[in-house]
Structure 1
Amino acid sequence: MSLADKVLAVNDDLPIRTDKPVHSGKVRSVYWLTEADSKRLIKEKGYDVAEDAPLAIMVISDRISAFDCIWTGEGGMKGVPGKGAALNAVSNHWFKLFKEQGLADSHILDIPHPLVWIVQKARPVMIEAICRQYITGSMWRAYEKGEREFCGIQLPDGLQKDQKLDEILITPSTKGILKGIPGVPEVDDVNITRDDIANNFEAFNFTKADDIDLYEKLLKEGFGVISNALAELDQIFVDTKFEFGYVTDATGHEKLIYMDEVGTPDSSRIWDGPQFREGKVVENSKESFRQLLLSHFPDPDILLNKDRMDERKALAEDNELPLDVLMKVSETYVGIAEKVIGGPLNVSDNPKAEIIQVLKDEYGLID
């Protein structure tokens, strides 16, 4: 079997029993189970959810996206070996730690395979919250141009690139296009302030105003848990994205939970501690791939300029990356995952066949 065959690139064609369209994102595909299968699994497996809760199978791929495009490599490589397993393993580790430390549950109910989660349907809070401990990336670029206010927070003059901030900053943005919120443009991923959220909490899908405090507490405590654990591995947790939603448990109690993924090399910046102390920033996250792309192509503006999206898509479609580039990315993902979980990563040799087998034999979801 070739290396390319071990990569799960297409994850929306599995024969999982469903009566709804498969939802496929940049990296994950979601299969909503039938009402009968959801009820059966809740009963058989004893999941702590309402008996009529809709369940889904979430399958992660090894595809890699950056600058809103999917990238491929030579030799039929449609993704990065081990990437999906690394992302799932890291998220699983942090979600488990959050639960153990009494923060909140996640949407994950079961893990049948390293690339698969069984999740419950959550009512999402319509916010992507970035927690930042250092000034870098897009925030630094804006700061360097003279901006001092970020999501209603004032930053002082005189900060340096990659400097640690005095406190963790929460810079939220909209998740999807939200309509009818005063002062918030009707576009996806636009920065908002805490006042925007507090004054329009229902529009952001919060059940009650008090939940905003809980959301901020879970953000900061979740960030702290990951940051402290990474510090023990001599890694620096720079910034990350969090997403939340509401679910109802078996007793009918509604609760706010963590969802999507958390603390992964895709959704976070993680710096190598020893290198940082020597004045060098070495990324143990997708940021290293972004930087690699910027240096690989002669006109990096295509990747940074949203007005050149058509050119960017053509660039991604027409250029297979060298194999060593994708293997370098694989090393980054697998390396940080093995550091976090404290052991070897379980990477499949034949992921699609394995997933079909386990979902058929142990969950009865494939005819």
Structure 2
Amino acid sequence: MSNTITKTNFNFPGQVSVYKGKVRDVYSLNDDRLVMIASDRLSAFDVVMPKGIPYKGQILNQIATKMMEQTSDIVPNWLEATPDPNVAIGKKCEPFKVEMVIRGYLSGHAAREYKAGKRMLCGVEMPEGMKENDRFPEPIITPATKAEHGDHDEDISREDILKRGIVSEADYTKMEKYTRELFQRGTEIAAKQNLILVDTKYEFGKTAEGEIVLIDEIHTPDSSRYFYATGYSERQEKGEAQKQLSKEFVRQWLISHGFQGLEGQKIPEMTDEYIESVSERYIELYENITGEKFKKADVSNIEERIRKNVNSYLEKP
């Protein structure tokens, strides 16, 4: 088993605070910059699994960086530099308290709701007569917000977001526009790799100057679902499951072992062999999404490597 980084405890020059998320640890500096470290933690059903996945943080960070670069003409983003395979440094922003989820296909959460008989998701109507993984006539935006208690994401409609004053109408309209344009670009990038971008989420923030920017990650297998384009139509016609590129395979494995993050459920034991197979799947995701060979970073001492690379970047005049 390769070394993984599942906990961080850095003290960077100018550091003022640290926020630890499910997968990323974010260090705030006193010059209004953030150092975001993508750990190897694996989260599913809003629960962090006990073991890390080798190279997962590097994979997510490097995909997100490439995708930010390929979409910066659509919307400005927070990213300034990536001094280490697991690290992104960029502008501090005030995040909007909604995630902009956009779906091109009836999959995942939308499919589960549809199967339960619901035809309305986040105030958006879903057409009758659809099968799981069918394409929507037009992509639909189904926002999510953090629950009042806990870290769970909750569906919310555009109407409720505006009514509750979570986001102003002017800002929300701009975020909707960006979301559709980003999804269109992501769809085009995926198509070049013979993939279908099924659904994804975007997060936005506002800079001190009042500019809306794209933050967090984009078009990674943790924030997005991809299908292989080859054979998609045939599988739909036969009612077969689609070949996926996302962490849905982890969710399905957990479900098959009786875990969906519900109270009283125990996380199943993940053997070293299973962890290794998840790591291999993530490498496959990277290579398929980017069309590039994955280069494994030196993991003999990940913490020391990160500390050295970040400090040497921050010390530059």
Query: How many angstroms apart in 2 are the aligned matches of 1:260 and 1:126?
Result: 13
**2:207 is the alignment partner of 1:243:** no
CA offset at residue 187 of structure 1?
Answer: 9.3
CA 187–57 in structure 1, closer or farther in 2 if over 3 Å, else same:
closer
Query: How many angstroms apart in 1 are the aligned matches of 2:67 and 2:109?
Result: 26
Structure 1 segment 192-341 matched on structure 2, within 5 A: 192-200=156-164, 203-206=165-168, 209-248=169-208, 253-279=209-235, 280-295=241-256, 297=257, 300=258, 302-303=259-260, 306=262, 308=263, 311-312=264-265, 315-316=266-267, 319-341=268-290
What is the aligned counterpart of 1:190 among 120, 134, 154? 154
What is the aligned counterpart of 2:78 among 107, 110, 113? 107
Query: How many angstroms apart in 2 are the aligned matches of 1:60 and 1:276?
Result: 32
CA offset at residue 244 of structure 1?
Answer: 0.7
Query: How many angstroms apart in 2 are the aligned matches of 1:241 and 1:17?
Result: 32
- Tell me, yes or no, if the aligned pair for 2:46 and 2:152 is still in contact at 8 Å: no
Q: TM-score, normalised by structure 1?
A: 0.78
Query: How many angstroms apart in 2 are the aligned matches of 1:364 and 1:187?
Result: 35
Matched pairs, number: 309
Query: How many angstroms apart in 1 are the aligned matches of 2:96 and 2:180?
Result: 17
CA 113–129 in structure 1, closer or farther in 2 if over 3 Å, else same:
same
CA 70–263 in structure 1, closer or farther in 2 if over 3 Å, else same:
same
CA offset at residue 19 of structure 1?
Answer: 5.0
CA 129–154 in structure 1, closer or farther in 2 if over 3 Å, else same:
same
Q: Which residue of 2 aligns with 1:362?
A: 313
What is the aligned counterpart of 2:95 among 114, 121, 124? 124
CA offset at residue 28 of structure 1?
Answer: 0.8
CA offset at residue 275 of structure 1?
Answer: 4.3
Query: How many angstroms apart in 2 are the aligned matches of 1:83 and 1:150?
Result: 31
Query: How many angstroms apart in 2 are the aligned matches of 1:214 and 1:360?
Result: 36
Q: Which residue of 1 aligns with 2:39?
A: 61
Unaligned runs of at least 5 residues, structure 1: 39-53, 73-77, 179-185
Which structure has the bigger radius of gyration?
1
The alignment partner of 1:190 has SS state of strand
Query: How many angstroms apart in 2 are the aligned matches of 1:19 and 1:95?
Result: 25
Unaligned runs of at least 5 residues, structure 2: 236-240
- Tell me, yes or no, if the aligned pair for 2:13 and 2:314 is still in contact at 8 Å: no
CA offset at residue 276 of structure 1?
Answer: 2.6
The alignment partner of 2:131 has SS state of coil
- Tell me, yes or no, if the aligned pair for 1:85 and 1:346 is still in contact at 8 Å: no
CA offset at residue 59 of structure 1?
Answer: 0.9
Deviations 1:152-204 (A, max 9, x none): 122222111111110000001223539xxxxxxx996332222223444xx32
Over aligned residues, Cα RMSD in angstroms?
Answer: 2.2
